[in-house]
Structure 1
């Protein structure tokens, strides 16, 4: 089973991309709708928390809702990529 077309992306690449762009880790994993949902939710919650806080709050405090969704999307993208990567490697092992 050495078909490279079915090889999943490296989980560390997915982690790196997902840490920079919210929802793109899901897109790389083949879950475009989920990635769009994560990105839209992060933007929406960032906007809400920005408008509910005052200028006296820190950057993290002003965008806490969006950063929370960013963290959830990051963990989700890595978890799915790691699961797919390990499953693919187990099926590549020759039978004993």
Structure 2
């Protein structure tokens, strides 16, 4: 029998707290590293190109957007993997 994939809610919480680690829990470390790379890249880009009077959130908007996509991606994949695993284990 194969090992159970992590709980999707655990993956969601970890992905919200630490960017890219949700993908690592889903056994996709390279995907997590790519997300972290683009979070830093786009966060730095918007930080340097935003107007001086823009808030911190506005200056980091590019990185925050990619982080939000990484959270969604990690949770979605965790739910799919858990559903496939449950379907395989429920068969007689």
Q: Place the TM-score, normalised by the shorter chain, in its bin.
A: over 0.9
Which one has the largest radius of gyration? 1
Gaps of 5+ in 2: none
Matched, 1:64 2:86: no
In the alignment, the residues of structure 1 paired with residue 28 and residue 36 of structure 2 have an alpha-carbon distance, to the nearest angstrom, of 12
Q: Spell out structure 1 runs of 4+ moving beyond 6 A.
A: none
**TM-score normalised over the length of structure 2:** 0.93
Q: How big is the shift at 1:30?
A: 0.4
Q: 1:32 aligns with which of 29, 37, 48?
A: 29
Secondary structure of the residue aligned to 2:27 is coil
Q: How big is the shift at 1:94?
A: 4.1
Q: How big is the shift at 1:55?
A: 3.1
1:75-94 alignment, distance < 5 Å:
75-94=72-91
Gaps of 5+ in 1: none
Q: How big is the shift at 1:54?
A: 2.7
Note the aligned Cα RMSD (angstroms).
Answer: 1.2
Matched, 1:42 2:39: yes
In the alignment, the residues of structure 2 paired with residue 7 and residue 28 of structure 1 have an alpha-carbon distance, to the nearest angstrom, of 12
In the alignment, the residues of structure 1 paired with residue 15 and residue 39 of structure 2 have an alpha-carbon distance, to the nearest angstrom, of 13
